[in-house]
Structure 1
Amino acid sequence: MLYIKALHIIFIVTWFAGLFYMPRLFIYNTEAQEREAPIRDALQEQFGIMMKRLWYGITWPSAILTLIFGPWVMYELGYFESVPSWLWIKLAFVLGLYLYHYSIHRIFLQHTKGLLKYSSQQLRVWNEVATIFLIAIVMLVVVKQNLSVVWGLVGLILFIALLMCAIKIYKALRQKK
Structure 2
Amino acid sequence: MLWIKAFHIISVISWMAALFYLPRLFVYHSMSEDETSRERFKIMERKLLRGIANPAMIATFIFGIWMSWLLWDYYSTQVWYWCKITLVSLMAAYHHACIVYFKQLRDDRCTKTHKFFRVFNELPVMLLFGIVILVVVKPF
Shorter-chain TM-score above 0.5: yes
Give me the CA root mean square deviation. 1.4
TM superposition shift of 1:56: 0.3
Q: How far apart are residue 61 of structure 1 and its match?
A: 0.5
| Structure 1 residue 80 displacement after superposition | 6.6
* Structure with bigger RCO (C-alpha 8 Å, 6+ apart): 2
* Equivalent residue number for residue 126 of structure 1: 120
Q: How many residues align?
A: 140
The answer on 1:115 being equivalent to 2:139 is no
**What is the CA deviation profile of residues 34-76 of structure 1, one whole-angstrom value per residue up to 9, with x for unaligned ones?**
xxxxxx1111111111001000000001111111110111122
Percent identity over the alignment is: 39
Kindly report structure 1 stretches of 4+ aligned residues shifted beyond 3 Å. 78-82
Query: Amino acid of the residue matched to residue 134 of structure 2?
Result: L
The corresponding residue for 1:19 is 19
1:44 is paired with a residue of what secondary structure?
helix
The answer to whether structure 1 residue 86 and structure 2 residue 80 are counterparts is yes
How far apart are 1:81 and its partner, in Å?
7.0
- Structure 1 residue 83: Cα displacement: 2.8
Give unpaired runs (5+ residues) of structure 2: none
Q: TM-score, normalised by structure 1?
A: 0.75
Which residues of 2 match residues 18-167 of structure 1 at below 5 A? Answer: 18-33=18-33, 40-79=34-73, 82-144=76-138, 147=139
Q: Deviations over 1:90-148 (max 9, x none)?
A: 0010111111111111000101101221111111000000001100000000000xx26
Q: Which ranges of structure 1 fall in alignment gaps of 5 or more residues?
A: 34-39, 149-177
Report the residue type matching 1:103 in the other structure: A
Deviation at 1:79, TM superposition (A): 4.3
Secondary structure of the corresponding residue to residue 116 of structure 1: coil
Larger radius of gyration: 1
Secondary structure, counterpart of 2:77 in structure 1: coil
